[in-house]
């Protein structure tokens, strides 16, 4: 994942189970906005990464693919440094969409961002 957005932002997947994904991201120069705080877009990238990986884990990877369809986020606490952890849990596991709840927390378990992401599931074309 070195040459992907995950590598650029320093996202590390820590746990993948059916219906749950945990990943971390450092708050550093690549993930801060110009005023020195965690960039909301970086938080959203982490959230969508967790939802997409979680969906991929639940689909038939031989015949299906998945991609983000919609995401929203509420940034409830600022952060200047350290690590944020995203905990994603599946809320809806359908045949063509999955909906994920993703909570980003700091090292003290304070809520930094809450997000909901819908991921589309589609059949691969031959």
Give catalytic residues, as residue numbers.
48
Q: By 3-state DSSP, what share of the chain in percent is helix, strand and coil, each rounded to 5?
A: 20, 50, 30
CA distance 47 to 115: 7
CA distance 75 to 43: 8
């Amino acid at each position: 994942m070195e040459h992907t957005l995950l590598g650029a932002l320093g996202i590390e997947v820590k746990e993948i189970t059916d219906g749950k994904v945990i990943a971390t991201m450092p708050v550093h120069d690549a993930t801060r906005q110009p005023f020195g705080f965690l960039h909301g877009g970086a938080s959203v990238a982490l959230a969508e990464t967790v939802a997409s990986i979680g969906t991929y884990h639940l689909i038939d990877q031989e015949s299906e693919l998945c991609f983000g369809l919609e995401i929203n986020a509420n940034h409830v606490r600022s952060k200047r440094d350290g690590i944020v952890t995203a905990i994603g849990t599946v809320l809806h596991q359908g045949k063509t969409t999955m909906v994920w709840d993703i909570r980003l927390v700091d090292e003290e378990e304070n809520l930094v961002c809450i997000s909901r992401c819908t991921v589309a599931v589609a059949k691969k074309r031959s």
